Structure 1
Amino acid sequence: MKDAAVLKIKDKTQSIDTIKIEPFKKSVRKTAPHKHNKYLEFVYFTNATGYHAIDNLKITIKPPIFFVVRKEQVHFWDITTEPEGFVIIIKKEFIDDCADFELHQLLLKISAFTHFTPKDNTSIITIFELLSTEYKSKTKSRSIIEGLLKALLGKLLQFNTNDQQLNNSVYHKFTDLLANENKLSNSVEYYAELLNTSPQNLNTSCRNECGKSASEVISDYILSEAKRLLLYTDKTITEIAYTLSFKDNSHFTKYFKRHIGFTPSAYKLQH
């Protein structure tokens, strides 16, 4: 594989939405080693032969098979027969704008894999087809796409044999802890203590599995929960600030605006 410094960087998200869903191109056979800097890519094959090389792994394509390519990973295809399947490309902006906490969790969990074989191929194909149809629709709905994407990821992970081992990592214990917290804390030290590990070890685990620091992971959860509370509850800004462990309304408003670009009130009005 070529040195990463001279690898081609592909960006399939130019001139498209923050998510793209389409059939896998039948013309694709061999590609040069490359990486994606701006998006997460899912590829699902229902028919194809050959292999997929990702980082230091060489994976034989035996459909049905689902591949995950994270940002910065180096990969290439060597496909020997006409491929059939689907591709989903997800930009960071799509994830940032998503207020569905469970969908965030599913994206985090599935991003820890390079590939796996789904157990219920018929259901997976049906959901992919519904996603592709909704994406092509002139009246496409983000909420429908998010709902179908959540169903797809949940179904893909439902019977995965490595899921128990995956959930035993420090990173996934951390994200499970965040998902089940009644009151989030913006403190790496606090969660490291609950996990009986050091802040340094927690940071290392996060960076290895999702490419972010522990504090960035916490921030993602806080902002996702803030969006959900703003859009789907009648809580006041002050109540949301308290729920998310901010000292006061002002501190929460400054934090939200710094990360999102809008005040909580402006964000709620625009959505």
Structure 2
Amino acid sequence: MTTQLEIKDKTAPIDSIKISPFRKNIRKTTPHKHNSYFEIIFLTEGSGTHTTDTQKFEIVPPIVFTVRKEQIHFWNIETEPSGYVLIIKKQYIDDCLDKEIKQLLATLSAYPCLYPNAQSLEPLFEILNQEYQENGYSQKPVVDGLLKAILGKLLLSAKAEKASESNKVSDFQHFKELLNQENQLTNKVAHYAKLLHTTPQNLNAICRKEANQSATEIISEHIISEAKRLLLYTDLTVNEISHKLDFKDNSHFTKYFKRHTELTPNAFRKELL
């Protein structure tokens, strides 16, 4: 193991969005992150598994996987795959003037695995791929329109009620995005409430309404998930992980981790490696 996870970038520096057929020679990959982009993988053929963070999914086409920029994922594919990979970089989202596309992407990012209607979705991927291969992103309205249709179809298949809500990104979604920002994770509700220009009490109320959890519970889940990733996929010491996750000392982190998992960090690492 290494102290640094591999970070892959499948795009050229000038690309803000990219689509290509899923490579048929992909079988097993090492755990890795992506370089500031959101990935949508649509598979129409293949078998095996896809692991996102610590959650393993069986590949049963037609199937769609999404991978956020902060997530670790890897493949263990057993038979020849077929489908498409759609990459959306942060630059595209920042530059996009269509607020509905941003809302659709924010909603879709909550679904790591979907089982869509391939009959209606596959033609959209085929057309988008053909358009991109012929013209790149030069035909922006065409690409944006096709992307919007794909996102809408995906959320329809997930029966996601939020797809038809207001274009405004909610405070809850902003809160989740703040948790996903690297090097800013902390176990303090007041810290995030301040960044959201609200009070801890109001942030708790928002979380209760959206997720039936307190803000503390949501933060705890995220911290434990990040701790597990670091324990599984790096050889950082428990003390280094404690510091990275903003705990005052190793002892505090160990007690916190054990309270949520019933294992010490070292025991968790030994059990799963």
TM-score range, shorter chain: 0.5 to 0.7
Q: Say if 2:44 and 2:63, in contact at 8 Å, map to a contact too.
A: yes
1:34-74 CA-to-partner distances (Å, cap 9, x unmatched) read: 11132111100000000001100111000000000101211
1:224-252 CA-to-partner distances (Å, cap 9, x unmatched) read: xxxxxxxxxxxxxxxxxxxxxxxxxxxxx
Residues in 1 aligned to 2:35 and 2:29: alpha-carbon distance in whole angstroms: 17
In structure 2, the partner of 1:73 is 71
Residues in 2 aligned to 1:90 and 1:28: alpha-carbon distance in whole angstroms: 21
In structure 2, the partner of 1:17 is 15
Residues in 2 aligned to 1:27 and 1:91: alpha-carbon distance in whole angstroms: 24
**Post-superposition offset of 1:201:** 3.2
**Post-superposition offset of 1:150:** 0.6
Residues in 2 aligned to 1:53 and 1:31: alpha-carbon distance in whole angstroms: 10
Q: Say if 1:173 and 1:195, in contact at 8 Å, map to a contact too.
A: no
Question: Normalised by the size of structure 2, how large is the TM-score?
Answer: 0.61
SS at match of 1:147: helix
**Post-superposition offset of 1:16:** 4.9
In structure 2, the partner of 1:138 is 135
TM alignment of 1:43-54, pairs within 5 A:
43-54=41-52
SS at match of 1:45: strand
Q: Say if 1:20 and 1:89, in contact at 8 Å, map to a contact too.
A: yes
Q: Say if 1:128 and 1:152, in contact at 8 Å, map to a contact too.
A: yes
1:82-117 CA-to-partner distances (Å, cap 9, x unmatched) read: 110000111100110000010000000001111110
**Residue type of the alignment partner of 1:189:** T
Q: Say if 1:48 and 1:79, in contact at 8 Å, map to a contact too.
A: yes
Residues in 1 aligned to 2:124 and 2:162: alpha-carbon distance in whole angstroms: 27
Task: Flag structure 1 segments of 5+ consecutive residues without an equivalent.
Answer: 178-185, 209-271
In structure 2, the partner of 1:201 is 215
> Higher relative contact order at CA 8 Å, sep ≥6: structure 1 or structure 2?
2
In structure 1, the partner of 2:211 is none
TM alignment of 1:1-271, pairs within 5 A:
5-118=3-116, 120-138=117-135, 140-161=138-159, 163=160, 174=171, 188-189=197-198, 193=202, 196-197=205-206, 201=215
1:181-216 CA-to-partner distances (Å, cap 9, x unmatched) read: xxxxx9632898598448x939x67x95xxxxxxxx
**Post-superposition offset of 1:8:** 1.3
**Residue type of the alignment partner of 1:188:** H
Q: Say if 2:36 and 2:90, in contact at 8 Å, map to a contact too.
A: yes
**Post-superposition offset of 1:7:** 2.0
Aligned CA RMSD, in angstroms, stands at 3.4
Residues in 2 aligned to 1:189 and 1:93: alpha-carbon distance in whole angstroms: 28
**Post-superposition offset of 1:9:** 1.2
**Residue type of the alignment partner of 1:122:** Q
Give the share of equivalent positions with the same residue, in percent. Answer: 43
Aligned length: 191
Q: Say if 1:64 and 1:117, in contact at 8 Å, map to a contact too.
A: yes
**Residue type of the alignment partner of 1:95:** I
1:110-156 CA-to-partner distances (Å, cap 9, x unmatched) read: 011111101x2111001001110111123741111111101101011
Residues in 2 aligned to 1:192 and 1:92: alpha-carbon distance in whole angstroms: 31
1:152-182 CA-to-partner distances (Å, cap 9, x unmatched) read: 0101111314x35999xxx9764699xxxxx
SS at match of 1:48: strand
187 and 73 in structure 1: CA distance in 2 versus 1, 3 angstrom threshold: closer
Task: Flag structure 2 segments of 5+ consecutive residues without an equivalent.
Answer: 175-194, 208-213, 223-273
**Post-superposition offset of 1:24:** 0.4
Question: After the TM superposition, which segments of 4 or more aligned residues of structure 1 sit over 3 Å from their partners?
Answer: 164-167, 171-177, 190-198
Question: Normalised by the size of structure 1, how large is the TM-score?
Answer: 0.61
26 and 197 in structure 1: CA distance in 2 versus 1, 3 angstrom threshold: closer
